[in-house]
Structure formats: structure tokens, C-alpha cells
Amino acid sequence: MSHGHDDPTLHPEVQISTSRGYFLGFAISSILMLVATFLVTSHAVPPFGLLMVISACAGIAIMAQIYFLLHIDISEHNIWNTVALVLFIPLFLITIGLTWWMFSQLYLHTMIMPGMPGMMH
């Protein structure tokens, strides 16, 4: 109850949101998604490059969504946003990182992949 008023639109979390921001966030993520889809379906880039480009697109889309749609920042007003970020970043690293690790180990043991030591034999 630190903000002693009843009108929810006066809360600082709500104040920082603008319709321009929402549209921008929506447009950026849609465009990035379309770009990624186009690159995959057109086979325009070799597999490894494709992987890199899609990951980059996904990364930018996440940033745009966090900033424009979720309004998560590290300002004093929105201390719970910072808490959310502190929770989110490690989880993100855990899920992506551990998945990457376990699957690279799996490929090492079960598949012969281009560019892996298995190719030598």
C-alpha cells in the first residue's frame, strides 16, 4: 500500500507503459519471427549460420519483449521487476545451458555430427 490511491492506472508500473511501446514490441518480435521463418524455409544460409542467425533473432526478440511488453527494468520504483529478473536470468541460463550440455554429450556418445571429433574415424 505504498501508493495510497485507488486508481490502478496511476501506479508507476502502469505509467511507464505506452501504446507506442506495445506496438513497437509487437512489431519487432513479429518481424524477427518472420525473418527467422523465412531463413529456415528458404534454406538461404548453411545450417551452422542458420543456427547463429536464429539464435540472434531470438535473443533480440527476448530483449524487446522484456523491455517493451513486460516493462522490466532495474529502476527503484519497480523493485519486484528486479526480483523477477534475478529469478529469470539464472533460470534461463540453467535451462538453455544444461540442455546444451546434455545434448552435446549425447551427440558425442551416439551420433556422428559434422564438425565433431567423431568425424575423424
Contacts of 54 (CB under 8 A, 6+ apart): 36, 39, 40
How far apart are alpha carbons 42 and 54 in whole angstroms?
A: 13
Min CB(114)–another protein separation in Å: 12
Q: Does 15 bind another protein (CB under 8 A)?
A: no
Min CB(45)–another protein separation in Å: 13
Cβ–Cβ < 8 Å for 45, 9? no
Q: How far is CA 121 from CA 29, 45, 107, 109, 114, in A?
A: 43, 28, 15, 14, 12
Q: Does 100 bind another protein (CB under 8 A)?
A: no
3-state class (DSSP) for residue 77: coil
Q: Does 98 bind another protein (CB under 8 A)?
A: yes
Q: Choose, by CB under 8 A, the member of 74, 106, 112, 116 that binds another protein.
A: 106
Q: Choose, by CB under 8 A, the member of 86, 105, 112, 116 that binds another protein.
A: 105
Residue ranges that bind another protein, judged by CB under 8 A: 6, 47, 80, 87-88, 91, 94-95, 98-99, 101-103, 105-106, 108-110
